[in-house]
Amino acid sequence: MTWILALCAVTIGAALQRVTGLGFTLVSGPLLVLVLNPFDGIVLANILSALIALLVLVRTFRLVRWRAVLWLAIGILAGVPIGAVVVHTLDSDMLLVVVGALTAVAVVLALTRRPMRVFRGTGGAIFAGSVSGFSNVTAGVGGPALAMYGVATKMPMSAFVPTVQAVGFVTNVLSVAAKPQMSLPLPLVGAAVGCILLGLLVGTVLHRFVSPSRAQTLALALALAGALAATARGVVALVG
């Protein structure tokens, strides 16, 4: 049953990522963590996120704003190693709490949708990239920092979606490289890849009928529920 729930989350997350440019790991990450463990769950989420970003980017790369990608990537290169140290330092129960808490905070920040000056300009791009890189390697939630950068710079959705795919691909490849001790069940990985392809097809259809703001609201609601469940499980394990 937990596998089924996780695979459903993967499908929904892939569909939402196709519509909004973000949302896959926010939705699927907490459930993958519950199915596997905090370390392997986030590694699988990183692998699947890289795959999704590449597939979406193939269709939308002409609209990528490569200058923004460059500055964001510089920040990512700074944030990923710091996050990797945190991942390898904490035990599994504490890491589960960190994953859930970071996801919940990311959701709340994304829900505000208010432009913040700290995310503007070249410095803002580097800052957003560093926050995204850190939170992606620790909890698989690099998207909200990128979303806040997009809001602060007033980047149109037509450019934002492909731009964050390019950034997301780089971030997730680095995040996986920072965690070589992964141990993933191949049947789950294969099923998840199939669900990604299904989700992208569904998202391509939904893109014509569902506004990005509504899809993003649904993604954030699902992400918050999963984050609270992961946090609760980690807290119970620590107390027990």
Distance, in Å, from the CA atom of 162 to the CA atom of 65, rounded to the nearest integer, reads 8
Contacts of 15 (CB under 8 A, 6+ apart): 199, 200, 202, 203, 206
Contact 198, 14 (CB under 8 A): yes
Per residue in 12-37, pLDDT (tens digit) is 888 877 777 667 877 777 778 777 87
Q: Which residue has the tokens 């390898």?
A: 88
Which of these ranges, 23-32, 65-74, 138-147, 207-216, has the smallest mean pLDDT?
207-216
The residue with greater pLDDT, 13 or 64, is 64
Residue 163's pLDDT band, with cuts at 50, 70 and 90, is: very high
Written as six digits, the tokens of 57 are 């980017």
DSSP helix/strand/coil, 74: helix
pTM over 0.85: no
Alpha-carbon gap, residue 45 to 26, rounded angstroms? 9
State the amino acid at position 33 in one-letter form: V
The per-residue pLDDT for 155 is: 87
Cα gap 235→231, rounded to integer Å: 6
Give the pLDDT confidence score for residue 55 in this predicted structure. 87
pLDDT digits (tens, 9 = 90+) for 96-116: 777 777 777 777 776 766 777
Tokens of 126: 């580097």
Cβ burial, residue 54 (10 Å; 0-12/13-18/19+): middle
Higher-confidence position of 64 and 6: 64
